[in-house]
Structures are given as structure tokens and as C-alpha cells.
Amino acid sequence: MGQKNKQADNTAADQQSGDNNQQSLMTNDNMNQVRELLFGESYRQLDQRIAQLEANVNERFQQLEDQFQRQLQNEHDSREQAIAELERRLQQQAQDHENRISAVEDDFRSALAAMDKDLRDVIDNLDQRHQQRQDQLTRDKVSRGQLADLLTGLADTIRPPVAVDSDQSA
């Protein structure tokens, strides 16, 4: 029997607890209804205003983010164009320098070829003059022999012939 009493006590306690819970829920509902009557409209307006502000902030944030992305993309594109322009200029300058170097090399080769031709002409001229002098010296040697014969013949003609007398020699 003790157990039946305990169950009955528990059932009564549960029922009383359930009643208390129902009263508590009814009290909470009543409080909510009173709050709704007193503050409901203001609360809804405040919620709407907060929601509108959140929407405005989110929209403005999105606009700013989009604007920042556009500016960032424009800056990126601008820098890419500047880099491409610099690369193009560098390539053009390199080509210009290469062309100038080629022109200087061509001028140098032309000047060197002209100097080589002039030097060959001078050497050829010197060779010709040397050959002429050598030929003249060769002719002069032959002429000297002839001159010696001529001078000997002249000396013989200028000198009176000496007669070889036996009388005068003694």
C-alpha cells in the first residue's frame, strides 16, 4: 500500500504542477497580450525601421563594395596598360639602339673599307715608284758603263797621242 500512496501523491503533485504550469502559461499569455496592446505598434514600427536601416546599410555596403571593385579593376587595368606601354617603349628603344649600333657598324665598315682601299692605293703607288726607281737605277748602271767607255774615249781624244820615240825616251 505504501507504493500506491506514493503514486497517488506523485499524481497529485504532477497535477498540481500541471495546474501551476497552466497558470504560468496563462499569465505569460496575458503579459504578452498586455505588452502587445501597450507596445505592439511601436515595436512593429521599430522592427520595420531597423529592418529598413539594415536593408539601407546592406545596399550601401554593396554599392561601396561594387564601387571599390570597379575602382580596383580600373586601377589594375590602368597599371596593366602602363606596363604594356613601358614594355612597348623598351622594345622600341632596344630596336632603336640595335639599329643605331648596326648603322655605326656599317659606317665603321665603310670607313675601314675606304681606308683599306686608300692604303692599298698608296702601297700600289709606292710599289710603282719603287719599281720605277729600280728600273732607273738599272738603266743608270748600264749608262755608267757606257759613260765610262765614253769618258775613256774622250780622254783618249783629248790627250795628244804620245809617240813613242826611242830618242826622247832616253
Q: How confident is the model at residue 11 (pLDDT cuts 50, 70, 90)?
A: low
Tell me the C-alpha to C-alpha distance, in Å, between residue 45 and each of 35, 36, 37, 60, 96.
Answer: 15, 13, 14, 22, 75
Report the mean per-residue pLDDT for the chain: 84
User: E-assigned strands of the chain?
Assistant: none
**Residues 3, 5, 8: CA angle, nearest 5 degrees:** 110
In this prediction, residue 65 carries a pLDDT of 95
Tell me the C-alpha to C-alpha distance, in Å, between residue 131 and each of 38, 137, 140.
Answer: 138, 10, 14
Q: How far apart are CA 137 and CA 139, in angstroms?
A: 5
Amino acid at 29: D
Tell me the C-alpha to C-alpha distance, in Å, between residue 42 and each of 22, 34, 36, 39.
Answer: 29, 13, 9, 5
In this prediction, residue 63 carries a pLDDT of 96
Query: pTM higher than 0.85, yes or no?
Result: no
